[in-house]
Every structure is written in C-alpha cells, then in structure tokens.
Amino acid sequence: MKKLRIGIIGMGNRAYSLILPLLSEQFRDRAEITAVYDPNEVKREFARETVKSDSLKLFADRDAFLSSGLDLVMVTTPQFAHAENAIAALDAGLDVFLEKPMARTAAECQAIIDAEKRSGKRVFMGFNLRHHPVCCKIADMVKEGRIGRVQQIVCTDYYSGGFSYFRRWHRLTANSGGLAVEKGCHSIDQINRFARSVPVRVSAFGGLDRFLPDPEGADYCYKCGKKGTCPYFMDMDKAAETTKRETGIDAVVVNGGRRLDLCVFNSDKDTFDNHLISIEYANGCRAALAECFTSSVKATSGRQFVLNGWEGQIWAEMTNRKIRFYPNAPSQTAGAPEEIDIPKAPGNHGGADNLMLEYVISCLETGRPNTEMLTRDGYYAVAVAEAAEKAVLEKRIVEIEPPRL
C-alpha cells in the first residue's frame, strides 16, 4: 500500500505531539511526513530534528509547500492563522486536518466551510475529545437513551496549568479569540454533542481578575526581585531542562526562540482568566460551562461532566476515567450507581490523539466519507465561544447564527 504523504503547517507543541504517533509502529507503514511549512527557521530545524527523515522537505514558502505532492495538510498553527492556511490548502486541492479551535470567529469558520464546499475536499476537524474513550462512552449512553431526554448539562474545567497561557500567545484575544474559544471550545463541542441539538443562545460572565499588573514585579522572571516569594516564578533553564527530559521537546525552540519566563502578571494581555457560560439549545436542553485558570490545584485539574435526563443522571470525570450512572428513582431509596471504568488507551490526550489519527488515515486510505470530524461542529463550538466572549463584554444574551452549509 502506498504511504499517505502528510504535510504540516506550523511546527509547535501540537505538531510535535501529532508527529510522534505518526512516526510510531501504528502509522509509520501507512503514512509519512514529507513536508513542513513554517516561516520561523528555528521551528523548521526543530521539525528536521523531530522527523529525522531524508525525504522530509522544509519550506519557508507556503505555495511551494502546497505544491510538493501531498495527500493531507495538517494545520497546527495558532488559530489566528487557521483560516488563511486551511483555505489555501483547500484551494490547492488538498484534504485538511485542522486542529481545534476551527478559527477565532464564526465568520472565519464560515470562510473555511465555503472553501471546503467549493474545493470538494474534506476538512477533518481536530477535536481530540470526540475520540476520547470517556466522551465516546457518554455520547453512546445518551444515544442509547440511558438517561432519557437530556435536560441539563454541566461541565467544569479547572486546568492547573492555566496560568501558563498568560506567558504565551494565548494571552491575546487577537491571537486566540479569547479563553472561551481557545480552551472552552473543547468542552463546548462535547456539550453540543451530548445535547444532540444546536445551540441557539448564550449568556456569560467572566473577567481577567487574577493576573493583573504587579507594580513590584518585572516583565520577565529572571529580572524580578520576587523570585523567592512568587508562586509563578519560572527558572527558565530548569523548566526547559525538565520539559526536554519529560517530553523530548526543546521548549525554547517550540516558542520560536523566545524566552519562556514572561511574567504572568505583567505580560500584555486581554483574555479572561475565568468565565461561566450558559447555553440554550433548540430542543430545550440547557448547559453550563465553568472554566477557571486562577486555580492551580493539580488534584482536581481536568474536566467533569454531569448530565441530567428525565430517566437518570451521568457523572463523569475525565482525569480518573470514571463514569457513574444513576437511574431516576422517584419516592424510592437511593441505590448504588452503575460505575463504569474506562480503560486507558495508548497515546497523548488519554489515547484520543491516536484514535483521532486512525480515523483520519483510515478515511483517506479507504475513501470513506468523513462523518465524525465535521466543520459544522467546529463552527458551532466557536460560535458559542465567540457569543460567550461578546455576552461578557456587552452584558447581554447573544443569539447564535447557524452556519451556511
């Protein structure tokens, strides 16, 4: 069987975490990375060191990259470059894997959908949680009617490493679209999936409350006199050494050669560090999402989902891979829940990355239509997140405009 030729746009952390499984025994006889495009020379060299293949071609020019004989382009840039690069690849007649979120705004998502339609090619929307065994089990239970009509969904996402966003490009909404788009899109997509309906309106509260300017601090940790007392102090050399040892990533290289120890307080930023989002669906389901980057409690870091249905409840914790099902029991003594342990799967993101790549490569190998990684879903996740950002800033309920498919 001829190997699929894969090209990557944007050589950063996400590209690295997808290249590793592609080089593994599971995929190396079926696909090969033949080209990488990144305008940053440091990152191109990082790609060369990672892929370690004589057949790999590195490009500083996108048109030359797109003309290099590819079967699939993987767009793994920050989202401010998603629409431009995905549309260019589609217009060049290439299928696209597009890392989440789809783009920064619903308008950019619609532009990608339009390009997908006119090109006749496929976009595989890279929400790895759609392939996470815990989320897949929840979706199956809902589809099977285990809890009946889904009335309410609650998701909490407390990321203990969230403070690091305020050192990186994510801290600017012009780059990321905001916290709800960058981080919330994952959870929103799953909520949309479990609701089995389309979102119609959104309200939200949020703000930048913790990581505000500190007049006693400096712009970088190495310059700061509070290094002995600040819990967010980063010893850059030690952090880079740990990252290299644990992941194989040269963190400074992935950051484009820029320093990693930007002060989380004194960095220029305009994104939120916490928010609460409420969503209403066409079928009457309602949902809430709470995200908080001001807490760094590792013991509770991760996502939890609670689904209330007319026939029962689902409680799920992604970190410990446990699901509990409680049937409704009016006027009866509470019984023990059905407990479901989800086995670990190989690969990053709880095994979801490998399962996601398997789906994409299988579709390309067999010509099977893409039914699970759709731009429609990418659009709705961003549309809800963008509406939440607007709802906070404009203090109003925001209606969701459906995509033109």
Structural domain boundaries of the chain? 4-127+353-373, 130-212+269-343+379-399
Task: Give dist(CA 132, CA 166) in Å, integer.
Answer: 27
**In whole angstroms, what is the distance from residue 102 CA to residue 385 CA?**
11
- Residues of the chain with pLDDT > 90, as a percent, come to 84
pLDDT tens per residue across span 156-197: 999 999 999 999 999 999 999 999 999 999 999 999 999 999
Digit-coded pLDDT (tens) for 1-37:
689 999 999 998 899 999 999 999 999 999 999 999 9
Q: Would you say how long the chain is, in residues?
A: 405
Per-residue model confidence as pLDDT tens digits over 275-302: 999 999 999 999 999 999 998 898 889 9
Report how far residue 343's alpha carbon sits from residue 129's, in angstroms, rounded to the nearest whole number: 15
Choose the weakest-confidence range: 139-153, 163-177, 386-400: 163-177
pLDDT digits (tens, 9 = 90+) for 229-256: 999 999 888 877 777 766 666 766 667 6
Task: List strands edge to edge, sheet with 4-9.
Answer: 57-59, 31-37, 4-9, 72-75, 95-99, 123-126
Nearest-CA neighbor of 253 among 73, 48, 79? 48
d(CA 145, CA 312): 10
What CATH number matches the domain at 130-212+269-343+379-399, 3.30.1330.90, 3.40.50.300, 3.30.360.10, 3.40.50.2300? 3.30.360.10
Position 396 scores a pLDDT of: 98
pLDDT at 254 (0 to 100)? 64
49 has pLDDT over 70 = yes
C-alpha closest to that of 90 among 107, 110, 69, 73:
73
Homologous superfamily of domain range 4-127+353-373:
NAD(P)-binding Rossmann-like Domain (3.40.50.720)
Residue 88 has pLDDT above 80, yes or no: yes
Distances (CA, A) of 162 to 95, 155, 258, 277, 404: 33, 17, 20, 18, 34
Question: How high is the pLDDT of residue 247?
Answer: 66
Query: What's the rounded Cα separation, in Å, for the pair 59 and 11?
Result: 11
pTM of the predicted protein model: 0.95
